Chains A and B, each alone.
Chain A
């Protein structure tokens, strides 16, 4: 961790030497460790310390970006010169308006000192506990325990300065027998709040219950989707449709004011909520707004960065990704509204359906309809007359996620935190009345 004041000094150095009309400096620091285990022992165990500086310079409407992870004085000079050189070679981008002006960033805590000081020995202890639980049940454990401390800081020549230290810890495991597997994970910004015993118990239970699966004919079934699977749905909606650029380019399903999913579905992005992994500003230093995206089934909002906002004469919602990026802004702290149900009730209400623990290798095959294909994995069960009757071999699905969200019968009252590439989302479990399974595999 470099710390706020040392990062500020680096920023001042960049801004002082840049002759550009506007200059932005982004700092991304990571000090992390990750312990992986497989076959019930630790097989990979790593740590890294990295600090990247990214400089964006603007001459009129010409933009150049250069980056380095060498923070020496010479390197900083070189990265500024590189950004200037390429900006001058650029053509003017008529859609560019300006880097963002400063705005107050509300404070939010996303940093747990206990995660930052979490040791390799402590990670190994947790991994060892999961492995022992598996072995005690004649099962095999695999998984990973990540702990990381990150620093995000942004400054620009218009006066923006924003700094946010954060931590995150995630323990996940797949516990296997010869014929089955069970998955569980836990995410928190405080590594001490991760309970390896609970994670192991959940995965062991699944692995034991899913032994000796039988085949099931593909077709349309009711499904109970655990939070792990629902998170995948939310990620795809964000990736394919919630960005203003996706709408501007006509590749999004979001038609504002129109109903896109069922009345019982509401989704929003909130970078400040303490139950998530808070991130108070974006990679341009703009404070994140809480953005309702889908309200009671209706598309109501999009996320913007300064570029897409400038095109529409609007203000950025604080969802820029690091420059340069051509994919547009992205929500990274998604929340799905809860209902009043639980998985027990979902089970009891299912006449003939499939319980899905999680999805695997999901890919879009029709972006506008959000049709996605993927597999079930690590705990798939047949449900009949309100009870789990047994494990089934994994199935391939090909399903519009929008249509699935248009046929949600029950929504869990509790949400679970899941970690995405840049933030964290909270999702409930769902009971969906129709879900299309298009193929089967051999295990």
Chain B
């Protein structure tokens, strides 16, 4: 391994690179899907390769290959330099990644139970148990339970002398019950939607979910939704449950604070950001109780790691303090533009992708409310939980999100389930209307294993710590 790494870095320098780094990445994953009593998918995947990033003639080049061989190391390193020289023909200025400090280190996710050490039979039995429990409810047409286990071994080295080895281990799982009837289709998911809840953790993370114990309840709720009242359209008070709030933080805070996006690097794809640099330190993002932090160091968070893919140590940084926007997620190149040092958010989705600025764990810091008190304190409104659909404009301002469930709140009490709930708003106005956040007892770190960005597309694994929160004067439902 070291020999291949040295060969890549040497070749890149000989070919004219003023800077080069290489990542050798090996991934192992195990995926199990049980659907309607059958093990519909059971697969093991192994993936390996190396990616070489260089600066030559003041511009970036990157090349990657799955073939870990000396001759391929030479070819790929030379190609990366050739690509950088091509980039330099259309550059505005020489790029600057700031002074480099050699970093050496090792990091491994702390796990209690190695998820790959647990027999597959045990995992299948757990999922089949949840599946059986969901199918006790007659309206359930599709019951699906799944598990995703992931290990990444990554070595980073650079011409600045850095050498870092990391082993990231993740465990994820979840259930989904889809009910069909009354000319409708409704779904309930647990613990999170779109397949699963995931964290940097061992199999203990799966066991703690109690998928079997929650399966029948989810199925019953999905069936209830078929005959539930449509969530009415109105401007009202909205209380968001923790998983929906995680999605809200993700889309309306996590993406717009990516400094590369702010600088326009994603303009032709998912867009830019309203949080332009003149707003840093003064813009009122939310109400005074809104505090948001980016923290790559929280044990178990899906956005937790030791070092980013530029060799910068994981950090905890303030993003919104008392409602004021105070920080971005940065890389070496982008931080320098603001006269800052990178806060370690440049991450790549595997060996064949370049590092982009990605969320770590973007957390809404807890407030002081008990959930029961929050409901009791609300005269009239809607409670929504668990994301079903999400859409936001290309500056991250206008959003419309839908949830799996909603409940009317009347005189401090939660009413029966409502279906097809949506709410919409403009990001700073929405966060500006936040007047209560629940305390740490109600907070959890929710994993998002499918955060998309970049071309070619990259899926980042990120996390969000959230507790329920209340927002005033929100447009609920769709205006016709």
- Is residue B14 within 8 Å, beta carbon to beta carbon, of the partner chain? no
Interface residues of A in 18-52 (CB under 8 A from B): 32-52
Contacts known (A89-B124, A93-B40); A365 close to B86, Cβ less than 8 A: no
User: Measured between C-beta atoms, what is the minimum distance from A362 to chain B in Å?
Assistant: 7
Contacts known (A47-B64, A89-B124); A128 close to B89, Cβ less than 8 A: yes
A360 proximity list for chain B (CB < 8 A): 271, 393-394
A438 proximity list for chain B (CB < 8 A): 400, 424, 478-480
In the complex formed, the residue of B with least CB distance to A41 is B92
A90 proximity list for chain B (CB < 8 A): 39, 42, 124
- Is residue B107 within 8 Å, beta carbon to beta carbon, of the partner chain? no
Contacts known (A67-B43, A70-B48, A70-B66); A42 close to B87, Cβ less than 8 A: yes
In the complex formed, the residue of B with least CB distance to A89 is B120
Contacts known (A144-B268, A361-B270); A94 close to B38, Cβ less than 8 A: yes
Our pick among B68, B141, B400, B455 for the contact of A249 (Cβ within 8 Å) is B141
- Is residue B1 within 8 Å, beta carbon to beta carbon, of the partner chain? no
Residue-wise interface mask of A (419-443) relative to B, using a CB-CB cutoff of 8 A (1 in contact, 0 not): 0000000000000000010111111
Rounded to whole angstroms, the CA-CA distance of A143 and B268 in the bound complex is 5
Rounded to whole angstroms, the CA-CA distance of A41 and B183 in the bound complex is 52
Contacts known (A69-B49, A142-B268, A365-B388); A326 close to B144, Cβ less than 8 A: yes
Stretch of A119-127, A161-169, A223-231, A259-267 with 4 or more beta carbons under 8 angstroms from chain B: A119-127
Our pick among A93, A121, A365 for the contact of B89 (Cβ within 8 Å) is A121
In the bound complex, do residue B83 and residue A441 qualify as a contact, i.e. CB atoms below 8 Å apart?
Answer: no
In the bound complex, do residue B60 and residue A373 qualify as a contact, i.e. CB atoms below 8 Å apart?
Answer: no
A34 proximity list for chain B (CB < 8 A): 455-456
In the bound complex, do residue A69 and residue B46 qualify as a contact, i.e. CB atoms below 8 Å apart?
Answer: yes
- Is residue B259 within 8 Å, beta carbon to beta carbon, of the partner chain? no
Rounded to whole angstroms, the CA-CA distance of A439 and B422 in the bound complex is 13
User: Measured between C-beta atoms, what is the minimum distance from B143 to chain A in Å?
Assistant: 11
- Is residue A82 within 8 Å, beta carbon to beta carbon, of the partner chain? yes
A325 proximity list for chain B (CB < 8 A): 41
Rounded to whole angstroms, the CA-CA distance of A124 and B479 in the bound complex is 46
In the bound complex, do residue B46 and residue A79 qualify as a contact, i.e. CB atoms below 8 Å apart?
Answer: yes
In the complex formed, the residue of A with least CB distance to B420 is A366
Contacts known (A68-B46, A89-B124, A120-B82); A40 close to B392, Cβ less than 8 A: no
Residue-wise interface mask of B (54-95) relative to A, using a CB-CB cutoff of 8 A (1 in contact, 0 not): 000001111111111000000010011011101101111000
Residue-wise interface mask of A (108-124) relative to B, using a CB-CB cutoff of 8 A (1 in contact, 0 not): 00000000000111011
In the bound complex, do residue A140 and residue B264 qualify as a contact, i.e. CB atoms below 8 Å apart?
Answer: yes
Our pick among A86, A172, A396 for the contact of B42 (Cβ within 8 Å) is A86
Interface residues of B in 127-170 (CB under 8 A from A): 128, 141-142, 144
Rounded to whole angstroms, the CA-CA distance of A368 and B420 in the bound complex is 12
Contacts known (A47-B79, A394-B393); A442 close to B398, Cβ less than 8 A: yes
In the complex formed, the residue of A with least CB distance to B390 is A363
Our pick among A48, A95, A394 for the contact of B64 (Cβ within 8 Å) is A48
- Is residue B373 within 8 Å, beta carbon to beta carbon, of the partner chain? no
Our pick among B91, B141, B266 for the contact of A41 (Cβ within 8 Å) is B91
Which residue, A121, A365, A443, has most C-beta atoms of chain B within 10 A?
Answer: A365
In the bound complex, do residue A42 and residue B91 qualify as a contact, i.e. CB atoms below 8 Å apart?
Answer: yes
In the bound complex, do residue A64 and residue B42 qualify as a contact, i.e. CB atoms below 8 Å apart?
Answer: yes
- Is residue B470 within 8 Å, beta carbon to beta carbon, of the partner chain? no
User: Measured between C-beta atoms, what is the minimum distance from A42 to chain B in Å?
Assistant: 4
Our pick among B41, B180, B395 for the contact of A251 (Cβ within 8 Å) is B180
Rounded to whole angstroms, the CA-CA distance of A42 and B66 in the bound complex is 25
Rounded to whole angstroms, the CA-CA distance of A52 and B86 in the bound complex is 29
Interface residues of B in 223-281 (CB under 8 A from A): 263-271, 274
Our pick among B35, B89, B184 for the contact of A326 (Cβ within 8 Å) is B35
A35 proximity list for chain B (CB < 8 A): 86-87
Rounded to whole angstroms, the CA-CA distance of A123 and B83 in the bound complex is 10
- Is residue B352 within 8 Å, beta carbon to beta carbon, of the partner chain? yes
User: Measured between C-beta atoms, what is the minimum distance from A382 to chain B in Å?
Assistant: 18
In the bound complex, do residue A324 and residue B41 qualify as a contact, i.e. CB atoms below 8 Å apart?
Answer: yes
Rounded to whole angstroms, the CA-CA distance of A251 and B391 in the bound complex is 22
- Is residue B45 within 8 Å, beta carbon to beta carbon, of the partner chain? yes
- Majority SS at the chain A contact face: strand
- Is residue A367 within 8 Å, beta carbon to beta carbon, of the partner chain? yes
In the bound complex, do residue A439 and residue B479 qualify as a contact, i.e. CB atoms below 8 Å apart?
Answer: yes
In the bound complex, do residue A48 and residue B352 qualify as a contact, i.e. CB atoms below 8 Å apart?
Answer: yes
- Is residue B451 within 8 Å, beta carbon to beta carbon, of the partner chain? no
User: Measured between C-beta atoms, what is the minimum distance from A259 to chain B in Å?
Assistant: 17
B480 proximity list for chain A (CB < 8 A): 220, 436, 438
A394 proximity list for chain B (CB < 8 A): 393-394, 398
Interface residues of A in 278-313 (CB under 8 A from B): none
A50 proximity list for chain B (CB < 8 A): 49, 64-66, 352
- Is residue B33 within 8 Å, beta carbon to beta carbon, of the partner chain? yes
Residues of A within 8 Å of B, CB-based: how many?
93
Interface residues of B in 364-399 (CB under 8 A from A): 388-395, 397-398
- Is residue A274 within 8 Å, beta carbon to beta carbon, of the partner chain? no
Residue-wise interface mask of B (184-201) relative to A, using a CB-CB cutoff of 8 A (1 in contact, 0 not): 110000000000000000
- Is residue A406 within 8 Å, beta carbon to beta carbon, of the partner chain? no
A40 proximity list for chain B (CB < 8 A): 92
In the complex formed, the residue of A with least CB distance to B392 is A361
Which residue, A32, A70, A82, A120, has most C-beta atoms of chain B within 10 A?
Answer: A120
B91 proximity list for chain A (CB < 8 A): 41-42
In the bound complex, do residue A45 and residue B394 qualify as a contact, i.e. CB atoms below 8 Å apart?
Answer: no
Residue-wise interface mask of A (45-84) relative to B, using a CB-CB cutoff of 8 A (1 in contact, 0 not): 1111111100000000001111111100001001100110
In the complex formed, the residue of B with least CB distance to A172 is B268
Rounded to whole angstroms, the CA-CA distance of A418 and B395 in the bound complex is 25
Our pick among A47, A251, A442 for the contact of B63 (Cβ within 8 Å) is A47
Rounded to whole angstroms, the CA-CA distance of A51 and B47 in the bound complex is 10
- Is residue B44 within 8 Å, beta carbon to beta carbon, of the partner chain? yes
Rounded to whole angstroms, the CA-CA distance of A366 and B178 in the bound complex is 13
Our pick among B86, B178, B180, B420 for the contact of A124 (Cβ within 8 Å) is B86
In the complex formed, the residue of A with least CB distance to B269 is A144
In the bound complex, do residue A396 and residue B394 qualify as a contact, i.e. CB atoms below 8 Å apart?
Answer: no
A377 proximity list for chain B (CB < 8 A): 271, 393-394
- Is residue B463 within 8 Å, beta carbon to beta carbon, of the partner chain? no
Our pick among B35, B65, B268 for the contact of A174 (Cβ within 8 Å) is B268
Rounded to whole angstroms, the CA-CA distance of A109 and B364 in the bound complex is 53
In the complex formed, the residue of A with least CB distance to B266 is A38
In the bound complex, do residue A128 and residue B35 qualify as a contact, i.e. CB atoms below 8 Å apart?
Answer: no
B79 proximity list for chain A (CB < 8 A): 47
B63 proximity list for chain A (CB < 8 A): 46-48
In the complex formed, the residue of A with least CB distance to B31 is A324
Q: Can you list 8 residue pairs at the A/B interface with Cβ under 8 Å? A: A47-B63, A49-B76, A90-B39, A124-B89, A250-B141, A325-B41, A396-B393, A439-B424
3 shortest interchain CB distances as A-B pairs? A324-B41, A441-B398, A142-B267
Beyond A249-B180, A362-B391, 13 extra complex contacts between A and B, CB < 8 Å: A35-B87, A36-B455, A64-B42, A82-B44, A93-B40, A124-B90, A249-B142, A364-B389, A365-B422, A439-B424, A441-B393, A442-B397, A442-B398
- Give residues in B with beta carbon < 8 Å to A: 31, 33, 35, 38-49, 51, 59-68, 76, 79-80, 82-84, 86-87, 89-92, 120-121, 124, 128, 141-142, 144, 178, 180, 183-185, 263-271, 274, 352-354, 388-395, 397-398, 400, 402, 420, 422, 424, 426, 454-456, 475, 478-480
